[in-house]
């Protein structure tokens, strides 16, 4: 086997970053949003199982991340909805594509006013634009990975 992925930084560089780049280039694609959310959500497991944290249990490590970055819970929910339908331990969401003037949101400069973008809606009717959440999580992990280089 050539070039196996065996480290968290390898997983980040060769799986997470390409998944997020694919989504950023195709903000309307639900499949790409699912892939980006799943790979971002799996990253803490790679870090934990490589013994790169002080936590003795993966759930405690994840909780520490959620305390620092509550939006990572949205990534968890997106990943869970993609992998397990209906999810048992996450908010159930309907995830699809929407378009219209409402997409001209602040801090979403890559989206024009009528550009399609992935939208998630929970059971209470609350909606969340998926791409900005994924990009913010990716920015967080881009900075965070500096301490996990191995």
| DSSP letters for 44-103 | HHHHHHTT-SS-SSHHHHHHHHHHH-TTHHHHHHHHHHHHSSS-SSS--EEEEEE-SGGG
Is residue 97 within 8 A of residue 119, CB to CB? The reply is: yes
Please tell me the predicted confidence (pLDDT) of residue 55: 93
pLDDT band for position 150 (cuts 50, 70, 90)? low
What residues pair up with 117 in beta bridges, in sequence order?
98
What is the residue-averaged pLDDT of the chain?
85
pLDDT band for position 99 (cuts 50, 70, 90)? low
Please tell me the predicted confidence (pLDDT) of residue 87: 64
- Selected residue with higher pLDDT from 54 and 109: 54
User: What pTM did the predictor assign?
Assistant: 0.85
CA distance 112 to 122: 25
Domain that holds residue 29: 8-89+130-148
30-50: b (≥16 Cβ within 10 Å) or e: bebbbbbbbbbbbbbebbbee
Closest by CA position to 130, among listed 36, 63, 39, 42? 36
- Selected residue with higher pLDDT from 116 and 67: 67
Residue 114 lies inside a defined structural domain of this protein = no
Residue 119 lies inside a defined structural domain of this protein = no
Please tell me the predicted confidence (pLDDT) of residue 103: 44
CA distance 81 to 62: 18
| 79 pLDDT more than 70 | yes
Percent of the chain with pLDDT over 70: 84
- Selected residue with higher pLDDT from 80 and 40: 40
Residue 105 lies inside a defined structural domain of this protein = no
Please tell me the predicted confidence (pLDDT) of residue 136: 95
| 33 pLDDT more than 70 | yes
Residue 41 lies inside a defined structural domain of this protein = yes
Residue 79 lies inside a defined structural domain of this protein = yes
Is residue 29 within 8 A of residue 16, CB to CB? The reply is: no
Residue 63 lies inside a defined structural domain of this protein = yes
List, in order, residues 6 or more apart from 106 with CB less than 8 Å away.
none
Residue 110 lies inside a defined structural domain of this protein = no
Closest by CA position to 32, among listed 111, 101, 118? 118
Please tell me the total count of domains within the chain.
Answer: 1
pLDDT band for position 125 (cuts 50, 70, 90)? confident
């Amino acid at each position: 086997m050539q070039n196996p992925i065996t480290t968290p930084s390898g997983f980040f560089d060769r799986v997470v970053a390409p998944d997020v780049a694919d989504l950023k280039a195709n903000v309307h694609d639900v499949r790409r949003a699912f892939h980006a959310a799943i790979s971002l959500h799996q990253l803490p497991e790679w870090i934990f199982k490589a013994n790169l944290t002080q936590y003795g249990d993966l759930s405690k490590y994840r909780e520490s991340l959620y305390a620092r970055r509550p939006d990572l819970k949205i990534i968890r929910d997106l990943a869970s909805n993609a992998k397990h339908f209906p999810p048992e331990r996450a908010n159930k969401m309907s995830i699809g594509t929407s378009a219209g003037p409402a997409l001209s949101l602040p801090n979403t400069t890559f989206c024009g006013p009528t550009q399609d973008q992935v939208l998630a809606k929970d059971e209470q009717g609350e909606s969340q634009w998926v791409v900005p959440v994924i990009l913010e999580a990716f920015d967080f992990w881009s900075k965070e990975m500096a301490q996990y280089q191995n």
